[in-house]
A and B are shown apart, each in its own frame.
Chain A
């Protein structure tokens, strides 16, 4: 059974940093691109960042470019999101999500599995 478990969220002051993690199991992690998608309270979905199966291709939304860094450790079946210079508008539930098709860059076919989400609240 495919499982994605998100963790690392919490309450953080503006300007500070936070690192999110996503632990994957039940599939061959290093065959698939992985992504982070967020959802602000009561709002829609927003793609944040994606990383290809071999980390050769990485992309970011304009809203986080230069502040967030995505990475993965295929040996640990884990995905990460380092979030720096956090702003109030980064407050959201952050989901990791798996691409449906293997061996792709960040051109996602569809997100077929999602984590349960981890809540990040940026407030003083």
Chain B
């Protein structure tokens, strides 16, 4: 049950696009199309942004999109806005358990 690997931080200017990677193994990301992404603002509970790899829950902006290639999943945020500044976590089913990434701090410059 090793954590998924995410970059510690990413940054971008308003209006730009950024991508956060999430690298796992053939035991989790590579096998299951059950990757989800969460946004967490300080002091708040996480919010689901993408589920089952690329699906957006009702109410989530279409500026957020998810994809996967091999053992790596990605979250892309287009048209960056100030309110997107937060921590982002990926998550994947891993056979008999679920594993999160270490989190990525997004800074909007």
Contact = CB atoms under 8 A, between A and B. Distances in A.
Given A44-B89, A116-B45, A117-B45, A111 B36 contact: yes
A100 to B, nearest CB: 5
Contacts of B50: 110
Nearest to B101: A44
Contacts of A106: 98
A110 B97 contact: no
Interface stretch (A21-29, A55-63, A72-80): A55-63
Looking at chain B, what size class is its interface with the partner chain?
20 to 34
Give the residue among B45, B57, B102, B103 with the most A Cβ atoms within 10 A.
Answer: B45
Interface of B: 1, 3, 32, 34, 36, 38, 40, 45-46, 48, 50-52, 55, 57, 87, 89, 91, 93, 96-103
22 contacts: A37-B100, A44-B100, A45-B40, A47-B97, A50-B98, A59-B96, A60-B97, A61-B97, A63-B1, A95-B46, A106-B98, A107-B34, A107-B93, A108-B91, A108-B93, A109-B51, A110-B55, A110-B57, A111-B36, A114-B46, A115-B45, A117-B45
Given A47-B99, A50-B98, A110-B55, 12 more contacts: A37-B46, A44-B87, A44-B89, A45-B38, A45-B103, A47-B91, A62-B97, A107-B32, A108-B93, A108-B98, A110-B57, A112-B48
Interface of A: 35, 37, 44-47, 50, 59-63, 95, 100, 106-112, 114-117
